[in-house]
Amino acid sequence: MGLMARLRAAAQASRPYDPEFAEAMEERWSQLPDVVRTPGQVLGRHGVGCEGTHGVFPKCNLKCTPCYHSRDANRVRVDGRHTRDQVAAQMRLLRERRGPYAHAQLIGGEVSLLPPDDHAAALAVMRRHGREPMSFTHGDFDEDYLTALALGGDGRRRFERLSFAAHFDKFMYGRRGIERPPSEKALDPYRRRFADMFLRLRREHGVRFFLAHNMTVTPGNLDEVADVVRDCADMGYGMFSFQPAAFLGDERRWKERYREATPDAVWAEIERGAGTRLDYRVFENGDVRCNRTAYGFYVGSRWYPFLRGEDRRDLAVRDTFFRRFGKVNFGGTPPGLLAVRITRVLLRHPSTALTALSWFGRTVRRVGLLRLARHRFRVRPVTFVMHQFMDAEVVAPAWELMQRGVHADDPALRGAQERLAACHYAMAHPEDGTLVPACVQHAVLDEAENAELRTLLPLIETRGPRTAGSTGQRAATAPPSDVR
């Protein structure tokens, strides 16, 4: 390739944004209901939303109350080939329908039941389709599993970066060493152990990571949320996501009066843990009845928002961000390339640099130079999230009406339809080319899908329980007994 051709290729690769991505966002925005077209709306301005897999490895070896998977999920064999094929088909459709970039969750039952090579292959397939993957786990696997996932058989890095979401709460039964956690605090050593594996992986093998901490909230652990935030804030998690429990999935595992842990009550507890108010209207991801998000950072034990909703100058920064950087894809872009893209935007719009500098100065003053110096300028970005699934009893009729193009009159169903139309969390069905909200997947489609999978991938009895020194995969594939 000649010099000119090479320069042209470099300019093309570092162009601030991909026109196809911009087009996908425009389309996303045009499909949003009016109720979510707010100044802080991220969908259609800086992304198309999140995606997740389904029916790829439904089985899990812990028992949660509630569990959003259908009762047949644990009767389906984990099968690497099936997972890889299904992930590829689902990603292909997501790529086709939602454009070239998105965050996608490798989710189903328990991801670490997949052999490391199949897990790695699934992540690679997702990346090939422009998806930035995040593996969902209960976190009860060993370091040798993580190492085998991150490094190939030749001991060389397979990934520059891994993302995991680890679910920890005291209503998950069967975790090794703490079968029935007496409290959330009792799980803290396990939360730390999980994060420490990634710190070591980065130190020893240079694999960067992003960790999210997930927790289901019910009336039974609501008053422990604040302590989880406080106690785990410096463990290495970049996100704390809380899910108020919903009546969804396996009804045998609905144990409490979940509605009493209202979204406002849960958010108040997260705020208590963060030690400050968390403004979830600065940035919105879909409908705030589904998602609340607060982006910010810790310096020492204090959390600060990147932007303050009560400061008009900060809101102007947000608007500038959407205008100038909205179409730039950040997720999964290598840091060097991202820096070049940002520089190109700044060169084209020099006033943006002034806006950024004045925001930076304001933020440093807000934290205080002394405090920053005391903490050696160590800034830890941490995002707080709350995601509230809807109950199956409202999703099913709302979706059924939507399929027929009927707008519901009933306020509860209309609210559900608005939320489904603005859904931030899509799942793909390659068999008929449709995309559905995750609520619909769990409330309407999972049951028949898992019943079918149970026939396709029946369990094979091969006794041999998981031990503390194993890779975290059970040899026995018999269904665990149901929670009583």
CB 47 within 8 A of CB 32: no
Count of all residues that appear for the chain in the document: 484
Nearer to ligand SF4, 363 or 388 (CB): 388
Site residues (CB under 6 A) for ligand SF4? Answer: 286, 290-291, 387-390, 419-420, 423-425, 437-439
In 239-311, where does DSSP find H-type helix?
Answer: 263-274
Q: How far apart are CA 266 and CA 261, in angstroms?
A: 6
- Angle of helix 143-150 versus helix 188-205 axis, rounded to 10: 40
Min CB(440)–ligand SF4 separation in Å: 8
> Position 215: which residue type?
M
Three-state secondary structure call for residue 387 = strand
Of residues 443, 439, 444, 445, the one with CA closest to residue 425: 439
Nearer to ligand SF4, 315 or 435 (CB): 435
Nearer to ligand SF4, 60 or 439 (CB): 439
Three-state secondary structure call for residue 163 = strand
DSSP 220-258: TTGGGHHHHHHHHTTTT-SEEEEEE--S-S-GGG--S-G
Min CB(295)–ligand SF4 separation in Å: 18
The pairing of beta strand 380-387 with beta strand 291-299: antiparallel
Q: How far apart are CA 152 and CA 415, in angstroms?
A: 48
Nearer to ligand SF4, 64 or 328 (CB): 64
Nearer to ligand SF4, 47 or 286 (CB): 286
Min CB(385)–ligand SF4 separation in Å: 11
Given CA atoms 294, 300, 302, 305 in this order, what sign does their dihedral have? Answer: negative
Of residues 366, 377, 378, the one with CA closest to residue 306: 366
Nearer to ligand SF4, 273 or 286 (CB): 286
Tell me how far the alpha carbon of residue 177 is from its chain's centroid.
27
Nearer to ligand SF4, 292 or 324 (CB): 292
CB 104 within 8 A of CB 133: yes
Min CB(388)–ligand SF4 separation in Å: 6
Q: How far apart are CA 25 and CA 381, in angstroms?
A: 26
Residue 317's Cβ-count burial label (10 Å; 0-12, 13-18, 19+) is: buried
Structure tokens at 332: 């999964």
Q: How far apart are CA 408 and CA 298, in angstroms?
A: 44
Of residues 40, 153, 150, 133, the one with CA closest to residue 88: 133
Min CB(235)–ligand SF4 separation in Å: 26
Nearer to ligand SF4, 110 or 287 (CB): 287
Q: How far apart are CA 268 and CA 123, in angstroms?
A: 36
Nearer to ligand SF4, 114 or 423 (CB): 423
Min CB(396)–ligand SF4 separation in Å: 12
Min CB(42)–ligand SF4 separation in Å: 12
Min CB(389)–ligand SF4 separation in Å: 5
Query: Residue 154 belongs to what H/E stretch?
Result: none
Min CB(6)–ligand SF4 separation in Å: 44
Of residues 326, 457, 287, 376, the one with CA closest to residue 44: 326
Nearer to ligand SF4, 78 or 215 (CB): 215
Min CB(439)–ligand SF4 separation in Å: 3
